[in-house]
Structure 1
Amino acid sequence: MEPPREPRTPLGQRLRAGATSAGGRRLIRSVLAGLIGTIGLICSVVLAVGALLVGLDADSGQPYDLVSGTCDVLVGPLRDVFSFSGAKADTKEALVAWGAGSIGYLMVGLVAQSVLRPRPRD
């Protein structure tokens, strides 16, 4: 038989108690890295869904308007980088800008996680 283990300390208590110690800084960096990665992933998925809707010609209706507005805000000036002419030029611009933005947010989230995440001790 094993002796019972001590109960784990809740996250909030660990943050308050060890915010100035090395372990506290590691915990804060780990939580921050996870948060940035999650935000990057969510933005990437929203942009990918918008690009998918444009690619499938489902660019009408209330859901598309909501996704389109969100995607335009997330992409920002990247939308003006690409310019197409001819039939459905706006659709092509949106597809390329939102697709590139999706990849960009995913890469930024992954790089930020790898930089911020604490390294294991040797």
Structure 2
Amino acid sequence: MKVEETYIKDLVIIEPTVFGDERGCFFESYSKTKFEDLGINIDFVQDNQSFSKYGTLRGLHYQNPPFAQTKLVRVLEGEIIDVAVDLRKDSPTYGKSFSILLSSENKKQL
């Protein structure tokens, strides 16, 4: 598993190690120990899944404490463009955005 930092603090790209053969592939999308080894010390407490038809635009997800949530986004089928916007007023990257193509092919997670 690899982690790549983005120019927005605390926003990282995670690339799992994929084991593939003629039958398909296998990979760990999340491992508490491996995430901690990569410096990601998050206590994930909820797992959601959504399905969207082609052309769907989903809204921004933003919560203030005490309702703030860390998110791990990945794609099971197809592809999406995921956009993160830094809305933390005290952040040096306040107002900046980052976008990435996440797909079932590249298996990247944000």
**TM-score normalised to structure 1 length:** 0.23
Higher RCO structure, 1 or 2 (CA under 8 Å, sep 6+): 1
Higher share in helix: 1
**Greater C-alpha Rg:** 1
**TM-score normalised to structure 2 length:** 0.24
